[in-house]
Amino acid sequence: MDSATWDERYAADDLVWSAGPNRFVVEQVDGLAPGRALDLAGGEGRNAIWLAQQGWDVELVEFSQVALDKAARRAEHAGVDVTLTSADLTASPTLRPADLVLLAYLQLPRESSTRTTRLAASAVAPGGTLLIVAHARRNLDDGVGGPPDPAVLRTVEETLADLGGTGLGVKLAGEVTRTVETDEGPRDAIDLLIRAERGG
């Protein structure tokens, strides 16, 4: 979908995503010394705002202006500063290096996904961390929620292949589950979680 479509989606609801940060982001950031963080395709800012509250200097990159406007209001309400940058990651914008690069739930066709993953990896500063959270392809059959199109869903193996030759060392790679409330009761959504680091 293009930015205009996402503008419409973000404008239609008070919050498209939850207000709080993703649980896997919280778990993986625990123990990291705050520095510069880059939240790519960060939407309404739920992870960026939480990171700023933890003492990180955060830049949120997003191509929907409506989402950026909402993130600005939410950051102001939370009393934190977040740098907001309008950019389309599929156009390979120049990114300033960061100690933490977050790529959460950006679902793209394979070729674009590979380019964006490698772009995110290139922005990891020496000693820094790349954190990728995404809907797993297996979630289509065995989980709940997420895009219904398998062409925009990835596997752990594909993502690791995308990171090949980037100079990052993979510290964690696998599928994880999170409980989602549905009309039929709680069910597990299946995500993939990858953490990679650049040597200092």
Residue 126 has pLDDT above 60, yes or no: yes
**Rounded percentage of the chain residues whose pLDDT exceeds 90:** 85
- Of the candidates 145, 153, 176, 128, the residue with the CA atom closest to the CA atom of residue 23: 176
Q: Is 99 helix (H, G, I), strand (E, B) or coil?
A: strand
Note the pTM of the prediction, 2 decimals.
0.90
Q: Look at residue 18 in the predicted model and tell me its pLDDT.
A: 61
| CATH code of residue 98 | 3.40.50.150
- Which amino acid is present at 122? S
Residue 23 has pLDDT above 70, yes or no: yes
Q: Is 88 helix (H, G, I), strand (E, B) or coil?
A: coil
Q: Could you give the number of structural domains in the chain? A: 1
Q: Which helix (H) or strand (E) holds 143?
A: none
Range of the domain at 11: 3-198
Lowest mean pLDDT among 6-20, 22-36, 115-129: 6-20
Band (154; pLDDT cuts 50, 70, 90): very high
pLDDT of 30-40, one tens digit each?
999 999 999 99
Residue 19 has pLDDT above 80, yes or no: no
